[in-house]
Amino acid sequence: MKICFVVEYYPPHVGGGENLFAALAEGLAARGHECVVVTCGLKGSPMEEIRNGVQVKRVRVPKWGDRMWFSLLGLKLALREAKDADVIHTTTYNGAFPAWLAGKILNKPVIITAHEVLGPLWQELKLPRLAAWLGAAAEKAVLALPFNAYSCNSQSTRKGLAHYGIPRDKTFLAYPAPDYTRFKPLEGEDQKSIRKKIGLPQSRFIYLFYGRPGMLKGADYLADAVPKICREVPDALLVMILSREPASGYKRILKKAASLPWESVLIKDSVPGDELPKWIQAADCVVVPSLSEGFGFCCAEACAMDKPVVATRAGSLPEVVSGRHILVKPGSARALADGVILVSRGGWTQKARKAFSQSEFVENHLRAYEKLLGKNSAG
């Protein structure tokens, strides 16, 4: 079987969606299927390459608004690469239109992965009115396109699709999985030795956030929680491993950090994937302050490493969290602060650790592809 993926971003671009599609495409390639990815061009990456058995072909797009340009400029390459494909697979949001149109022109089945569906939440976010309206309009427009099937990475996302009237029998659940070969308790390295290696203080209570400083990730609320945490836990240190994109979010967090109590926050640039487990191991807990989550890789990774997690009840997080954890109200600095303070005192809820299966994730998609091809043949 040949699958043509049309997605705006793909590794080495960093993000949960990128990791999800890389894991899927590589898993399919390992099973003998041909996979080609049509995606945005990236500075420093070749326009064509083979990554772990997957053909990656990039579209030249302007650097500013690259993903928006991809919606327009990606069609030509999508048509060329999907011509002999059995299935086209895309994602919300910017890859959706060229993938859907290529499917219509070539008469190919198209499946879309819905990472998360915000619906009414768009109006509740602290976004400029125009930005919130445009985001809601884009989501509505993409989900109005009649795709053949919808891959959901959580029950939360599946419910969100129902809000837009998408029939349940067109959706299927496929939980992704963190890389358990990397995200596991590090044997032979205790917290003290790791802190010494990476330059973190030994005596502080360290709570960790890592990811993009986008509005939905809730980093602003966590920064606002710092003063209360410092009053109750004087030795607390927030470590934030931040991507510099989106630039507006990164600058906003830096500005907030500058006004916080002295030495209460350490901001660090993104670290290589192989280094990230050390930072998780070095922390006393991990905080996931998201306003919405389709799956929540940060949460699943921290749980896999047996770290206490303070997470919001947003989106899929109650489905994903396990082990030692506290769930709090989303969009509340006070609730985040109370959660971190409670964890510092050894208070948390505990439940059996969940393990998500990468093999099952790939197999669920294979069954969906085969079902679509069976329908097409019957038609």
**191 Cβ neighbours under 8 A, 6+ residues apart:** 281, 282
Domain extent listing, the chain: 2-177+357-378, 191-351
- 245-to-14, 214, 219, 252, 366 alpha-carbon distances in Å: 10, 8, 13, 11, 33
Same CATH topology for 2-177+357-378 and 191-351: the answer is yes
Q: What is the pLDDT along the chain (379 residues), one digit of tens a residue?
A: 999 999 999 999 888 889 999 999 999 999 999 999 999 998 889 999 999 999 999 999 998 889 999 999 999 999 999 999 999 999 998 999 999 999 999 999 999 999 889 988 888 877 778 888 888 999 999 999 999 999 999 999 999 999 999 999 999 999 999 999 999 998 888 899 999 999 999 999 999 999 989 888 999 999 999 999 999 999 999 999 999 888 889 999 999 999 998 899 999 999 988 899 999 999 999 999 999 999 999 999 999 999 999 999 999 999 999 999 999 999 999 999 999 999 999 999 999 999 999 999 999 999 999 999 996 544 4
What does the DSSP assignment read for 299-348?
HHHHHHTT--EEEES-TTHHHH--EEEEEE-TT-HHHHHHHHHHHHTT--
Topology at the third CATH level for domain 2-177+357-378: Rossmann fold (3.40.50)
Q: What is the pLDDT of residue 186?
A: 87
Q: What is the pLDDT of residue 379?
A: 45
Tell me how long the chain is: 379
How far apart CA 320 and CA 312 sit, in angstroms, is 11
Q: What is the pLDDT of residue 375?
A: 62
CATH architecture of the domain with residue range 191-351: 3-Layer(aba) Sandwich (3.40)
Alpha-carbon dihedral angle through residues 278, 283, 287, 293, given to the nearest 10 degrees: 10
47 is written with which tokens?
């326009």
Q: What is the pLDDT of residue 198?
A: 94
Sign of the torsion formed by the C-alpha atoms of 310, 316, 321 and 327: positive
